[in-house]
Amino acid sequence: MAFLAPLFFVGLAALAIPVLIHLTQREKKMVQQFPSLMFVRRIPYQTVRRRKIRDLALLMVRLAALALIIAAFARPFLWRPDAATAIGPGAREVVVLLDQSYSMAYGDRWDRAKAAARDAINGLGASDRASVVLFSSGADITMRSTGERDRLTASFEAATPTPAATRYGPALKVAGSILAESPLPRREVILISDFQRNGWRGEEGSRLPAGSTVTPVMIGGPTDAPDAAVTSVALARSTFSEQERVTLTAAVANRSDKPVVNDTITLEIAGRGVQTEPLNIEANGSASIAFAPFTVTSRNMRVSVRAGMDALAFDNLFDVVVSPAVPVRIVEVEGGTRAGSGLYLARALSIGDAPKFETVTRQATDVSDDDLRRASVVLLNDVDVSVGLGRRLARFVQDGGGLFVVAGPRATWPQEADVLPATLSQTIDRSRGEAGRIGGIEYGHPVFEVFRAPRTGDFAPSRFYAYRSVTALPMSQVLARFDGGTPALVERRVGSGRVLLFASTFDLSWTDLPLKPIFLPLIHRVIVYLANYSEPAPWLTIGQVFDPAASSAKSQAAGRLALSPSGRRLPLEDEGSQTQVLELTEQGFYEIRGQSANSDVTVIASNVDPAESDLTPMDPAEITAAATGNAASNGQAAESNVPLTPEAQERTQRLWWYLLCAGILLLGTDTLLSNWLSKA
Amino acid sequence: MSLAGGHAQGAIPGARFMDPAVLARIGNLELVARAVVDGFINGMHKAPYFGASVDFAEHRGYVPGDDIRRVDWKLWARTDRYYVKEYEAESNSNFSVLLDVSKSMNYGSTGITKLDYARILTACLTNLVHHQRDRVGLVTFDNDVVSFVPSSAKHMEVVLHTLENVTAGRPGSLKKPLQKLAEHFGRRGMLVVISDFYEEPDAVVDAIAPLRFRGNDLVVFHVLDKAELEFGFSDASAFEDLETGEQMPVVPEAFRKEYQSLVRAHLDALQQRFSANRVDYTVLDTSKPLDHALYRYLSSRSRMMKVR
């Protein structure tokens, strides 16, 4: 008899507690003086003696119950050194984890990994069973728990490295679930990988079931073949002759111990090489290659940077999608009677590259439907809005447009169009006495978030000599207030659009705000917010998820689908017309389009994770220790005829269960016995 | 006499006795006895036997040797014969209390020990008797005679003093001290024995009966605490014999019925044997007032006079 957790027997000291209580009570028993025990002595002792015996029995029952429960916690088992022989060497559940990340494509690593997997499968005993799991950033069970070696081997023979990065955590979790379901007593994981440092993040929850062993098979070796990796590109936009140009700079790293000498790096546009530069990088060094600017002629230009062929091809290519910068189109509506009221606004909106602002100025009576259709934001600069214009603007906002109302002395708004966040009242004159200031700013709002940090913008120096008294509606949010408590900037969301109302002017008649440094960034933030503008990402990384519903790739056409770089068609809507996300698994350009021929097309560049090209290995014992909880666990444990571990023997016998049941039964008996004794 | 008999079952209205526990807190026994006895006598203001000892009983013919002072000269004048006057009682009878001061008497669960109760009872009886000009004496004993105050009309103070100083310190037995005393009490009188009688009934009677051999009137007061009668303990505990120090584990709930029946049998046996020996026997509960004991004494006293 042996015990898995003999320390629990320290708990046997608890047995002394009832005995001590018993003894203590005996010592402390009350002595009752009585004149004579003449009569007491005549009463037979039978009652006393019987009670004592019963109490002793009760005590023994309690002690036995405690002892049994403690013994159960100590996890006893009958030690049988020949247990392994009895079960046989074949009774193993083996999970072969085969690293399929793109770093395994370096040199002959993949071939060696497959050979190791074959060896592992050929080493299976007659009664062993095995599963094959190919893993990279995810894990895929290609064959589950079988003893047929041919099927197991065939499940990975045709596989090739994927462009995904290495993550050991998901693979270990899958292996753990397979082992946990297995009835076989010996459980083993054979982990075949190059053990990249970047693939292990000390994942919690990747612990294998107790008694499992991990046999790491290192597919490493020297990194003596040159390996240039394009890790990133930078796009710098400029305008030349009213044409937008982009200068692309590629960052290239050499991940090997050999220098890259006399290699080339090529800029490709739409698959055609347009510029080739020599590439020379020292061992484990990096370089930056700037290409000549190219003109952006159309949307979704497919631009690639390709370094020369070397030992690891996956990281030689870096794709980006370049489109002309999309300006934020603004229609500035003026009242017309006050000249120059839009001067400062126009100046502020003429500056800016990311994004650019394209402003069209219109009189209130001249705003056309075409203007509204093209515009992202309408700016009403102190305008007396007619009912007709108000209704059209309300529709514009409902459809997702942004409306910025600058409420100067002439500003009105028709009640028929209910989109304004506040009602306008009289003008408050602060020209006499102390001028008004802005206080009470909601710095958590996207408009003011950039001004949250110290020295990033100060509204205090701005003076307001007059402003409109406005009353915010319940459904609106006050983003800034004047020092008197009157709302200064109020927001309301209507439909999918947004409306902001500023209760003063943007010229010098009522305020000196346009002269302050904060004016320009404030106007830019307001317009960007109202236009709901976001910079399109020029590329994504494999493993990331692309959500068509949340991007500018929204296509009006029904039945959208994605075309993968390998030509697979991936539907983006399920049967209920619900948009599905697209997980990027291939390297290259994804196309998202509607089913009709003239539908809008969105192109996404999908690149490999550059961190995966760093082949620095780690100590496999780290993963082994984390997965098994035992740093000493290694492949030696997988040898045949090794006796079963105490944990495995204990698990097969489960003596603790019977002991616990017996203990609980005794406790029940104790309850009955004590009840009976108390009644007796 | 008839009054005493008529009220033997209860207290006299208007003459309520104080709680024994309260009396025990009054240090001066004389004061206690006087208070109790005066109250008792006030309640019996028509007691017919008060002064009965000097009542005329009969005439008898003069014989030579009679004191000529006792010749009824008026009767001689009428009859021309000498007659001597005989009176109803000898007013100066002996009265002694035999008080058990063994250690078991030093027990009390209701605020008064049996010994204190017995002391008050003794003081009261002595006081009562002293009022009647009788001679009073006191003997205390445990397993031997501890103190002895001979009967005398002048010994009231001594008796009270002895009672004040009496302590219960030794185990007791009846046979040896009472045997000694039986030889001593030669003159006919009244003996009151106060004890808790923790001996077998036969042994008790064998020890006490000799006291009657010389014509003494015997009144036995069996003083017991309420706890001794009812055994009303609740917690299981070790019971220690006050005299021997022996301890026994006792579960009172389990013992109570048997104990009560044993005590009842013991009392019945004593009652039966004392009756057979014409000894007046009374069980006194220390939680109850003293009037019962005093009535028993007066009842016995009147019976003695009746017999004479």
pLDDT digits (tens, 9 = 90+) for A286-300: 899 999 999 988 888
My answer on whether A11 and A145 are in the same domain is no
**Percent of chain A residues topping a pLDDT of 90:** 23
Report the pLDDT value the prediction gives residue B287, as an integer from 0 to 100.
84
Q: Read out DSSP for A562-623?
A: EE-TT--EEESB-TT--B--EE--SSEEEEEE-SSTTS-EEEEEEE--GGGG---B--HHHH
Tell me how far apart the alpha carbons of residues A475 and A422 are, in angstroms, rounded to a whole number: 9
Chain B residues within 8 Å of chain A (Cβ atoms): 104-105, 107, 114, 196, 198, 225, 227-228, 233, 235, 237-244, 246-251, 254-255, 258-259, 262-263, 266
User: A610: cis peptide before it, omega within 30°?
Assistant: no
Residue A396 in any domain: the answer is yes
My answer on whether A409 and A304 are in the same domain is no
With beta carbons under 8 A apart, name residues in chain B contacting A29: 237-238, 249
**Look-up of token digits 């689908």:** A561
My answer on whether B63 and B172 are in the same domain is no
With beta carbons under 8 A apart, name residues in chain B contacting A34: 107, 227-228, 239-242
Residue A173 in any domain: the answer is yes
My answer on whether B164 and B239 are in the same domain is yes
My answer on whether B7 and B96 are in the same domain is yes
With beta carbons under 8 A apart, name residues in chain A contacting B233: 32
With beta carbons under 8 A apart, name residues in chain A contacting B170: none
My answer on whether B81 and B225 are in the same domain is no
Domain end, chosen from A564, A589, A607, is at: A607
Which of B195, B256, B262 is the mutation pick for testing A, counting most A CBs within 10 A? B262
Helix, strand, or coil (residue B81): coil
My answer on whether A193 and A150 are in the same domain is yes
At A353-372, the pLDDT tens digits run 778 888 998 888 888 989 99
My answer on whether B76 and B171 are in the same domain is no
Q: CATH code at A298?
A: 2.60.40.10
Band of residue B194 on the pLDDT scale cut at 50, 70, 90 = very high
Report the pLDDT value the prediction gives residue A491, as an integer from 0 to 100.
95
Q: CATH code at A459?
A: 3.40.50.880
Give the β-pairing of B94-100 and B189-195: parallel
Residue A333 in any domain: the answer is no
Q: CATH code at A209?
A: 3.40.50.410
pLDDT at A576 over 80: no
Rg over alpha carbons for chain A, rounded to the nearest Å, is 39
Total domain count for chain A? 5
Tell me how far apart the alpha carbons of residues A337 and A373 are, in angstroms, rounded to a whole number: 26
My answer on whether B62 and B97 are in the same domain is no
Report the pLDDT value the prediction gives residue A526, as an integer from 0 to 100.
94
At A28-68, the pLDDT tens digits run 557 888 888 888 888 876 444 445 555 777 888 888 888 88
Beta-ladder partners of A333:
A362, A380
My answer on whether B97 and B75 are in the same domain is no
Domain end, chosen from A502, A531, A560, is at: A531
Band of residue A593 on the pLDDT scale cut at 50, 70, 90 = confident
My answer on whether A248 and A201 are in the same domain is no
My answer on whether A464 and A485 are in the same domain is yes
A40–B225 CB contact, under 8 Å: no
How far separated are the first and last CA of chain A, in Å rounded? 41
My answer on whether B81 and B107 are in the same domain is no
Which domain covers residue A33, as residue numbers? Answer: 2-81
At B99-145, the pLDDT tens digits run 999 999 989 888 889 998 898 888 888 888 887 777 889 999 988 88
My answer on whether A101 and A200 are in the same domain is yes
My answer on whether B16 and B62 are in the same domain is no
Residue A665 in any domain: the answer is no
Torsion of CA B8, B9, B12, B17, to 10 degrees: 100
Q: CATH code at A579?
A: 2.60.40
Please give the average per-residue pLDDT across B59-72, as a whole number. Answer: 86
Q: Is the dihedral of CA A504, A509, A510, A516 positive or negative?
A: positive
Nearest chain B Cα to A40, which residue? B259
**What is the distance of C-alpha B112 from the center of its chain?**
18
B105–A35 CB contact, under 8 Å: yes
Mean pLDDT of chain B: 77
Per the structure block, which two tokens stand in for A249? 């700079």
What's the predicted TM-score (pTM) here? 0.50
Type of residue numbered A486 = T
Helix, strand, or coil (residue B56): strand
My answer on whether A415 and A373 are in the same domain is yes
Residue A449 in any domain: the answer is yes
Q: CATH code at B14?
A: 3.40.50.410
My answer on whether A252 and A397 are in the same domain is no
Band of residue B264 on the pLDDT scale cut at 50, 70, 90 = very high
User: Cβ neighbours of residue B99 under 8 Å, at least 6 residues apart?
Assistant: B118, B119, B122, B138, B139, B140, B141, B163, B166, B194, B195
My answer on whether A179 and A261 are in the same domain is no
My answer on whether B192 and B276 are in the same domain is yes
My answer on whether A215 and A150 are in the same domain is yes
The answer to whether residues A501 and A470 touch, using CB atoms and an 8 Å cutoff, is yes
With beta carbons under 8 A apart, name residues in chain A contacting B247: 31
Residue A649 in any domain: the answer is no
Tell me how far apart the alpha carbons of residues A253 and A230 are, in angstroms, rounded to a whole number: 6
**Look-up of token digits 């990249």:** A196
pLDDT at B4 over 80: no
My answer on whether B123 and B197 are in the same domain is yes
Rg over alpha carbons for chain B, rounded to the nearest Å, is 22
Q: DSSP letter for A471, please.
A: E
Which domain covers residue B67, as residue numbers? Answer: 55-87
Total domain count for chain B? 2
My answer on whether B191 and B262 are in the same domain is yes
Tell me how far apart the alpha carbons of residues A214 and A218 are, in angstroms, rounded to a whole number: 12
The answer to whether residues B98 and B193 touch, using CB atoms and an 8 Å cutoff, is yes
CB neighbours (10 Å) of residue A567?
A: 7
User: Cβ neighbours of residue A360 under 8 Å, at least 6 residues apart?
Assistant: A329, A330, A331, A332, A371, A375
My answer on whether A344 and A492 are in the same domain is yes
Mean pLDDT of chain A: 83
Which residues of A, range 45-104, sit inside 8 Å of B by Cβ? 47-48, 51
Q: DSSP letter for A315, please.
A: G
My answer on whether A60 and A92 are in the same domain is no
Residue A458 in any domain: the answer is yes
